[in-house]
Structure 1
Amino acid sequence: MKRAVRIEIYQNLVNYKKPTSFQLKETYPLPPPSTVIGMVHFACDYKTYMPMNVGIQGNYNSKVNDLYTRYEFAGASYEEGRHNVKIDSKENDKAYGMMRGISTSELLVDCELVLYIQPEDDTIVEEIFNAFNTPREYISLGRREDLVQINKVQIVEIEEIELDDDITLDMDTYIPVNLSSNMKSNATLYTLNKDYTLKTIKKGVDIRSWNKVKVIHAAKGITVIDEGIDIVKDLVNNSVIFLL
């Protein structure tokens, strides 16, 4: 029997930024796996990657747009008329130029999430549980300012079973795209970041090479999972999980 950590959290206003959005900082409807895994590693103070799968479910009430201050600079020398902020170097007499302006961020309102964390190494399940049950400092998910209110943390037993009846989702859920043929849904397809390896492009310079997962964002109330497919079940809460 495998185990996972189940976490119920609430966030008032949050942005799970799409990497390809710039002028309007758009948000995913649910946090991508990389964001959840990053939160777990921060909470547990892991310095190296601990392989894990995550299940992501949630709802939000609405979306709003908010303004924020944006700074842009490229290490160029200060030029009056080109830059509106002058930064004097502490190391030499050079002055650098920077642009300060405003931009727009899309925010989810009253976001409620249920997250499942299933590490490859079962011996660290208690460690992850303790990290969220008694956090060492405040935890955020999304931007650093997107604080989480942890409502419940559980260690649950999970098992892969064959679904014996059709079910309708009661929360929006990320579902692996290979399972989408076994459900009735007009869902949105996303290719999301999960984890990465460092790739050297030249001496002393490494970049992140992301491993991605293809999922659908299945909406609650209208997505029906057909009987007969193999799914993972939370035996404690009698609920279905889709691990990524």
Structure 2
Amino acid sequence: MNLPSLLWPDPDGIPVPSQPGILGILASGNGSNFEAIAQAIEAGELQAQIAVVITNNPKAYVRQRAQKRGIPCVLLDHRDYPRREDLDAAIVQVLWQHHVEWVIMAGWMRLVTQVLLSAYPDRVLNLHPSLLPSFKGLRAVEQALKCGVKIAGCTVHRVTLEMDSGPIVAQAAVPVLPEDTVESLYRRIQAQEHRLYPLAIRLCLAEGSLLPKSSGKLHN
């Protein structure tokens, strides 16, 4: 039996932000969550603007996705930076140039440093394919199947220095079916990711007036 997936918080209970948020997307790969966010904006479901996309991967398909939508995409190859702090400093400079208010990690395969977190306190979001705090790190879906869980899912959380450990913003639960493989379960989780991330961003934008803005300073 294919049970329905569940979202938390209830989408109907999320208020509309008082003004559109300016987003900067960090993506390393395909960019399907970038696409989902962009589509939610176009449909009027998310009051926001994507000001810039940053990728560390010259071959990332997200570059073509951004180009098709006329959104600036900046390549900052991590191999060109001797320290993670140096990469994050370059990222922050690009975000500031585009007046970004919220940093949205959408398949960003690099650990962030205090440089980015200090520049955007409590304004960096990440999406992870598990119901955190369970199954942190890589191969989360594989971890869930190996443990025999009956409910998997995805989580949007605020980013901290500890990987996949920041305060949870929103979650979607996805039932695990007896015949599931890593690929089939991930496809259903990803479908919920595309629903969840725009909702979580909307929730954060509505609460954003309570949070500090970008500090305007770099901390190495």
TM-score (norm 1): 0.21
Greater share of strand residues, 1 or 2?
A: 1
* Greater C-alpha radius of gyration: 1
Greater share of helix residues, 1 or 2?
A: 2
TM-score (norm 2): 0.23
